[in-house]
Structure 1
Amino acid sequence: MFLAQVHVTYKPSILDPQAVAIKNAMHRLAFDQVTAVRQGKYFEITLDVSTAEEAESQIEAICDQLLANPNMETYRYEVKELANQ
């Protein structure tokens, strides 16, 4: 079994209005040292597969087809083997 931790965020060229609102709120709370905010989505996906390569292949397909919009978003992930349960 493997656990994939997936982070999906907007590409740097895409305006992220929610992150702008968060940054503005931080400034209103006197956190003036904050210069940039990015927000995104986080997923933990458990896969019952035999190898890390198979887990990575499935995660790539899941991200490309479902979790991320390739026109606007980018993703990164880490796959870890889970201890025998």
Structure 2
Amino acid sequence: QTGAFKCWYCNITRPAEIGADYVVSDDLALDVLILADGQPRILDEPEFTALALSPKEGQMAWAAVKELQRLYQENQYPFNQKACP
């Protein structure tokens, strides 16, 4: 392990349910991967398309992808850090 930055990997999920001793989330298949080369990649679109989501849920998932891309392009948190604090 070199400690070198490898990537950001962002799962698109429904809002998590958080309890005193648990966290439950529902993965919506879409992922945003940003490698050290800086090029964002959208992963698992076919799996996402195959899900039985309402139009609103689909729109919200894509809005989350676009928000992650915006945050990255504008060098905003968490994408302005190459390591965990």
TM-score, normalization by structure 2: 0.31
User: Which one scores higher on RCO, CA 8 angstroms, separation ≥ 6?
Assistant: 1
What TM-score comes out, normalization by structure 1 length? 0.31
**Considering only CA atoms, is the larger Rg found in Structure 1 or Structure 2?**
1
